[in-house]
Amino acid sequence: MIISYLCLRKPETYKEVIEILGEEGILPEGFAERFAEAAKFRNILVHMYAEIDVEMVYEILQNNFEDFDEFARHIARYIEKEEK
């Protein structure tokens, strides 16, 4: 929604959504590079669900779940800053 609202380049993939937000300073660039992997993971879950390694999913959620909270905090800060 932010990308559309700001008329930024159209992402072709979910990974590109995160990359664009990083390029534009909406997300810290280092975080965006790391979190873009979550978008790739999302594609695996959605499109290759029959081949998912349950142990891998468990490990990712155990070790990277806080990234989703961090993403939400960055987006909330950006929205708050833009509303002022």
pLDDT (tens digit per residue) in 31-54: 999 898 877 777 777 776 677 778
Contact present, 68 and 35 (Cβ < 8 Å):
no
Kindly state the percentage of the chain with pLDDT values over 90.
51
User: Residue 49 has what pLDDT?
Assistant: 65
CA distances from 16 to 10, 12, 46, 66, 83 (A): 9, 6, 17, 21, 25
Can you give the pTM of this predicted structure?
Answer: 0.77
More confident residue, 45 or 5: 5
Domain positions in the chain are 2-83
CA dihedral 38, 42, 45, 48 (to 10 degrees): -110
